[in-house]
């Protein structure tokens, strides 16, 4: 393999990471470094937590063949509405949370049934869901805003000023707990990276050169510690980050280490061949869309906790943010390709663009134009890559 080919393969493999670095560097330059201030980094996490969660679920739908779920924004709104009503009737907070998750799951299962077993196209089914649950949210709230006053609920699931993990070490100017967690995360990353590399070499499988592995590990550890330090300089670990990390770890494991995850990729690669090999594709479709409803329920919980209220307008364009993050993060428009870490990078890129343009005072309409162009560029790159591969 020539040096030129290696460079092209490297750029293609890490396109979105390179794009994220370049975009962040651009906004750091244009904003005089303001985008890298501790508070702004925390805001990127807290304000985009719903995108990370919804995009993770959306990836599973996209893997089945480029299918999407247009209803998630309306489901987020409806679940939040149900939760606000229940908590205003003094229902126990944890019971209300459970009900919200179950409602999200039931909505997902209802739509999954039509998609998987009746073969109604996902676009039509979820478009109907988008209209139905937006309308139901308006009916329940009667077009009004309902406050969420449960402080414990807001602290655990929210993203506001009080929604941070307490520093048990009592740090003042620097959150010591945050630094400890960052160091542990780096140690675990290094342990699993080098253990995996050693296992592949022992099995006689192809591996990266040791120097490449070391350089990549050093860069990733440096990035983790940089952001850990920034968070520690503000208020520490946002509760929203804890939920996002939990979801990312769970679904990274599901998509890469379980048979269900393998089946999702197989259906996107060739559904007919997957079905002929004895796999029940209907169950896999059902799982993908029911799971999307469950994660929309969690996003609904976090939305009303962050905004401390429920409104009929909440969740608008959430589905577009999730879909855009998936395609920008490397998911294929044809299905069968994409990873959870890639989706998170896509969501981070969208978040950096949003907050960077906001700091620069760019009009909201132009922000939509830029995001649309970024999404189009990502899909064009995917299409051209497919043609080149063929």
What's this model's pTM, rounded to 2 decimal places?
A: 0.91
Percentage of the residues of the chain whose pLDDT score is greater than 90: 46
Question: In the chain, how many H helices and how many E strands?
Answer: 17, 2
pLDDT, average across residues 290-306: 95
- For the stretch 121-152, pLDDT in tens is 999 999 999 999 999 999 999 888 999 988 89
DSSP strand E in 54-211: where? 146-147
- For the stretch 73-101, pLDDT in tens is 999 999 999 999 999 998 899 999 999 99
Three-state DSSP at 195 gives helix
Half-sphere exposure of 21 (CA within 13 A, CB side): 9
Closest C-alpha to 292, from 74, 97, 132, 144: 74
- For the stretch 320-339, pLDDT in tens is 999 989 988 888 888 888 89
User: Do 135 and 81 form a contact (C-beta atoms < 8 A)?
Assistant: no
* CB neighbour list of residue 150: distance below 8 Å, 6 or more residues apart: 87, 93
Half-sphere exposure of 233 (CA within 13 A, CB side): 12
User: Do 83 and 196 form a contact (C-beta atoms < 8 A)?
Assistant: no
Three-state DSSP at 238 gives strand
Computed on alpha carbons and rounded to an integer, the radius of gyration of the chain in Å comes to 21
Tokens standing for residue 162: 């009080």
Asked which of 24-38, 239-253, 281-295 is least confident by mean pLDDT, the reply is: 24-38
Tokens standing for residue 15: 């396109």
Is 353 a residue whose pLDDT tops 70? Answer: yes
| Residues in the chain, overall count | 390
How is residue 32 annotated by DSSP?
T
Is 301 a residue whose pLDDT tops 90? Answer: yes
User: Do 213 and 194 form a contact (C-beta atoms < 8 A)?
Assistant: yes
- For the stretch 144-159, pLDDT in tens is 899 998 889 998 997 6
Q: Is residue 2 very low, low, confident or very high in pLDDT (cuts 50, 70, 90)?
A: low
More confident: 210 or 217: 217
pLDDT, average across residues 40-59: 91
Answer positive or negative: Cα dihedral of 351, 355, 360, 362: positive
Question: What is the pLDDT at residue 385?
Answer: 67
Question: What is the pLDDT at residue 202?
Answer: 80
CA 151 to chain centre: 26
């Amino acid at each position: 393999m020539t040096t030129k080919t290696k460079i092209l393969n490297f750029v293609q493999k890490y396109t979105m990471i390179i794009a994220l670095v370049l975009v962040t560097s651009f906004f750091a330059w244009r904003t005089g470094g303001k985008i890298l201030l501790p508070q702004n980094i925390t805001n990127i996490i807290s304000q985009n937590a719903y995108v990370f969660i919804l995009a993770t679920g959306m990836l599973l739908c996209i893997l089945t063949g480029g299918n999407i779920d247009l209803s998630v924004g309306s489901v987020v709104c409806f679940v939040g509405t149900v939760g606000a009503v229940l908590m205003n009737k003094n229902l126990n907070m944890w019971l209300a949370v459970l009900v919200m998750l179950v409602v999200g799951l039931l909505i997902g299962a209802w739509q999954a049934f039509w998609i998987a077993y009746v073969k109604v196209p996902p676009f039509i089914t979820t478009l109907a869901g988008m209209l139905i649950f937006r309308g139901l949210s308006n009916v329940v709230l009667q077009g009004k805003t309902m406050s969420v006053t449960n402080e414990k609920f807001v602290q655990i699931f929210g993203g506001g000023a009080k929604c941070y993990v307490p520093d048990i070490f009592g740090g003042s100017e620097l959150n010591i707990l945050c630094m400890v967690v960052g160091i542990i995360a780096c140690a675990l990353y290094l342990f699993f990276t080098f253990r995996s590399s050693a296992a592949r070499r022992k099995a006689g499988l192809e591996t990266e050169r040791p120097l490449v592995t070391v350089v990549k590990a050093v860069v990733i550890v440096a990035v983790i510690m940089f952001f850990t330090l920034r968070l520690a300089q503000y208020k520490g670990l946002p509760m929203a980050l804890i939920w996002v990390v939990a979801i990312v770890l769970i679904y990274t494991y599901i998509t890469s280490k379980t048979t269900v995850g393998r089946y999702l990729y197989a259906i996107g690669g060739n559904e007919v061949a997957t079905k002929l090999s004895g796999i029940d594709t209907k169950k896999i479709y059902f799982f993908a869309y029911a799971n999307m409803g469950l994660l929309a329920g969690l996003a609904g919980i976090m939305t009303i906790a962050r905004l401390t209220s429920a409104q009929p307008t909440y969740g608008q364009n959430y589905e577009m943010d999730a879909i855009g993050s998936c395609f920008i993060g490397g998911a294929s428009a044809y299905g069968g390709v994409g990873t959870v870490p890639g989706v998170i990078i896509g969501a981070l890129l969208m978040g950096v663009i949003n907050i960077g343009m906001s700091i620069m005072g760019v009009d909201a309409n132009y922000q939509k134009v830029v995001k649309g162009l970024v999404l189009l560029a990502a899909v064009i790159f995917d299409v051209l890559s497919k043609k080149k591969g063929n």
